[in-house]
Each structure stands twice: as C-alpha cells, then as structure tokens.
C-alpha cells in the first residue's frame, strides 16, 4: 500500500511538472504512465475516468483523483491530488513573481512565443488520445463532429453537449437504432 | 465578513473564496477561464482586462492547468500567498466533491455497459470540445508557417512516435525558443533600450 502511494505520488509529480500547455497536453503521457507502464487502469477505465471529469464541474483534470481512488482508496485520491496540483501551484507562485520582473525581457518573449505552438501541438495530441479511446464507429464520430460544429457555430454551455453526447451513445448502445 | 466596497484593491478572503468557488462550481468542459474573467474583470473589477490577459499569458507558459495557475496568480496579487491558497481551494472544492462522489459510484459500476456507453458518448463529445478549445487558443499559430511546423512536429513526436513528453519538451521546446531567440542586430539593440526604459517606468509604477 505504502509502495503504491509512493509510485502514485512520483508519477503525478512528474506529470504535474511536464504539464506545459495544461491538462490536455499531458494526457498522452498520463495514459502511457497509468495504463501501459504501471497498469493501474485499463485504456477503457482511463477513458471512463476522463469522461467523469467532463461531467463534474471545475477543472477537468480533477479526474486524476479518481485514478488514485481506484488504486488506493481515499488515501490514493489525496496523494494524487496533492502530487498533481501542489508542485504547479508553488512553481506558478514563485515563477510568476520572478516573471513580472522580466516583463519586457526579450527572453521572456522568446519563451512565451516559442512554447505556444508546442503547447498547441501537445493539446492536439491529447485530443487525439481521447479520440482514439472513444471514436470507434460512425455514431461516436458523429457526436464528436457535431460537438465541434456546434461550438464553432455558437457559444453554448459545453455541459449540454456532454450530456446529449452521452445520452445519444447510451441509446445507440441499447439497440434503439438497430 | 469584510464587505467594504470602497477597497476593491484588497478584497477579503471570503470574497476571493466565493468568486473562485462560484467559477469552480458552474464551469463545465474547461470553461473556467471565461467565468473567472466575467467575475473578476467585469463583475468585481479586481483586475482590468490587460492584467487578466497578462496573467493568462504566464499561466499558459508555465506547467499546470491554466485555471489553477490563474487562481494562484490572481489570489497572490490580491492577498499574497494566503490569497492564492484560498483561491485555489475555492476553485477546486466543488469539482473535488463531485469527482469523489462520481468516482465512488463509478468504481462500483465500472463494468456496467450502460455506464460505459454513456461515458463513451461523453468522451466523444469532449473530443469536439477539446478540438474547439485547441483551435481557438492556437488561431494565431495555425496560420504562421513556422508555428505550424512546430505544432506538427510536436504532434507527430507524441502521437505517432510516442516519444516521452520530457524529451519532446527538451528538444522541440528548445528549438522553438531558439527560433524566437532575441537577435543581436541593431534593430534589437534599439528595441532593448526602449524596453529597458519601459522596464524602469514599470518598476517606478510598482513602487507606488
């Protein structure tokens, strides 16, 4: 048990520090570590837990605590939450204070402009990882395409799309369209 | 409760907690930042829009979730380290309660085909949402050839060649920053003088 908690802490501290570009950017690495390297969850469980994060309010990546909970109960959830959020909070607190002093430094500009496209590429990879786990047929593809189209077309609360997407796929799987 | 409306520069901890709790409680699918901007810039006027965007720029460059990084930066600006802690706690509290409730239910139902089917649909809808957010965030980068190359290289390295994120950041990240490095030509030197002057005026400003 103690050994598991230490592994959980180590993995999520690493993921926390690598999360340049936010939570989505670190999803492929998180999937690799938790599914393929440590076998804490299966691909399907990883997808389900990610989806739970969409259903809950607030930052989606709070879903990491469910991975910890699945492995080591409430202690696991607590360890993962602290490991995934605390290092970034401390880093941001101190880096931001320093950053302000270099507001106009050309190197600050270089880092911000250089890392922006890398972060976008990582977010695309994170999106692709979730797509591979969820889009296996025409119905799931249609849900993703419709969600993209509707959000590009107008501002709508994403929770509506999330709920409708889940419901449509549930009806599809229950054989209603067959 | 300290509700003095005449002191917008130093809001109370209760007010900070309430605002971040609300943002963390009503936002779904990664919409936290829009709510934060609405509450903090338009509603309470703790920051102006430029300050908010400055903070966002820093949040996006540093590792970690943008919304949590924003809570740290804004909380710190309003009331120091304690303000940052209160802001992060408020932001994460509703989602934490919801996640643990859902997680406990899911662990018992993780083999239920209906639950799985619903969550597959949720994930599929989330793909559309993630793609929208990525396209909106990167609208400037997607039209610049150099940036587009860096986006493609990063995506291929992670998604096709499965290179570990640490190596991708160390290699492509370094190359990307090098591409945008400050150039040592005359125009830059002149620019630097201008920047230094601005920096000094900023410092003077901060002392007030």
* Partner-chain residue, chosen from A48, A124, A146, that has the shortest CB–CB distance to B116: A48
pLDDT in tens, B59-87: 988 999 999 999 999 999 999 999 999 99
Is position A172 within any domain?
no
- B115 contacts in chain A (CB < 8 Å): 48
How many domains, in total, are found in chain A?
A: 1
Evaluate if residue A6 carries a pLDDT over 90: yes
Q: Do A92 and B60 touch (CB under 8 A)?
A: no
* CB–CB contacts below 8 A, A to B: 374
pLDDT in tens, A22-71: 899 999 999 999 999 999 999 999 999 999 999 999 998 999 999 999 99
HSE of B175, CA atoms in CB hemisphere, 13 A? 14
Position B207 confidence tier, pLDDT thresholds 50, 70, 90 = very low
Residue of A nearest to B166 (CA): A18
Domain ranges of chain B: 1-112, 138-208
Is position A101 within any domain?
yes
Is position A129 within any domain?
no
pLDDT in tens, B132-155: 999 988 988 999 999 999 999 999
Q: Do B128 and A151 touch (CB under 8 A)?
A: yes
* Partner-chain residue, chosen from A69, A127, A164, that has the shortest CB–CB distance to B107: A69
Q: Do A88 and B137 touch (CB under 8 A)?
A: no
* Partner-chain residue, chosen from A61, A91, A117, that has the shortest CB–CB distance to B150: A117
Give the structural domain span for A14.
Answer: 2-113
B180 to chain A, closest Cα gap in Å: 5
Backbone dihedral region for residue B7 (phi beyond 0: left; psi -120 to 50: alpha; all else: beta): beta
């Amino acid at each position: 048990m103690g050994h598991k908690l230490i592994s959980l802490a180590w993995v999520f501290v690493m993921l926390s520090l690598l999360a340049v570009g936010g939570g989505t950017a670190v999803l492929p690495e998180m999937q690799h570590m938790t599914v393929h390297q440590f076998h804490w969850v299966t691909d399907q469980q990883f997808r389900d837990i990610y989806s739970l994060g969409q259903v809950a309010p607030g930052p989606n990546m709070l879903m990491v605590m469910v991975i910890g909970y699945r492995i080591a109960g409430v202690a696991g959830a607590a360890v993962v939450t602290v490991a995934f959020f605390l290092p970034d909070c401390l880093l941001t607190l101190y880096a931001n204070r320093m950053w302000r002093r270099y507001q106009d430094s050309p190197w600050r500009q270089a880092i911000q402009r250089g890392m922006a496209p890398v972060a976008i590429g990582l977010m695309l990879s994170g999106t692709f990882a979730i797509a591979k786990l969820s889009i296996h047929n025409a119905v799931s593809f249609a849900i993703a395409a419709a969600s993209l189209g509707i959000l590009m077309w107008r501002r709508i609360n994403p929770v509506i799309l999330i709920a409708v997407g889940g419901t449509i796929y549930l009806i599809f799987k229950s054989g209603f369209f067959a | 409760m300290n509700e003095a409306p005449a002191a917008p520069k130093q809001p109370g901890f209760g007010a900070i907690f309430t605002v971040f709790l609300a943002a963390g409680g009503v936002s779904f699918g990664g919409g936290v930042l829009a709510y934060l901007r609405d509450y903090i810039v338009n509603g309470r006027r703790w920051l102006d829009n430029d300050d908010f965007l400055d903070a966002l720029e820093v949040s996006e460059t540093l590792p970690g979730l943008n919304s949590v990084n924003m809570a740290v930066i804004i909380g710190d600006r309003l009331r120091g380290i304690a303000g940052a802690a209160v802001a992060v706690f408020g932001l994460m509290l509703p989602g934490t309660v919801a996640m643990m409730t859902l997680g406990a239910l899911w662990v018992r139902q993780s083999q239920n085909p209906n639950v799985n089917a619903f969550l597959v649909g949720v994930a599929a809808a989330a793909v559309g949402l993630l793609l929208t957010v990525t396209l909106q965030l990167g609208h400037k980068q997607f039209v610049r050839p150099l940036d587009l190359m860096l986006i493609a290289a990063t995506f291929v390295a992670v998604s096709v060649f499965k290179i570990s994120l640490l190596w991708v950041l160390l290699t492509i990240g370094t190359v990307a920053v090098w591409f945008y490095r400050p150039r040592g030509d005359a125009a830059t030197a002149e620019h630097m003088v201008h920047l230094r002057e601005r920096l000094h005026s900023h410092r003077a400003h901060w002392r007030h």
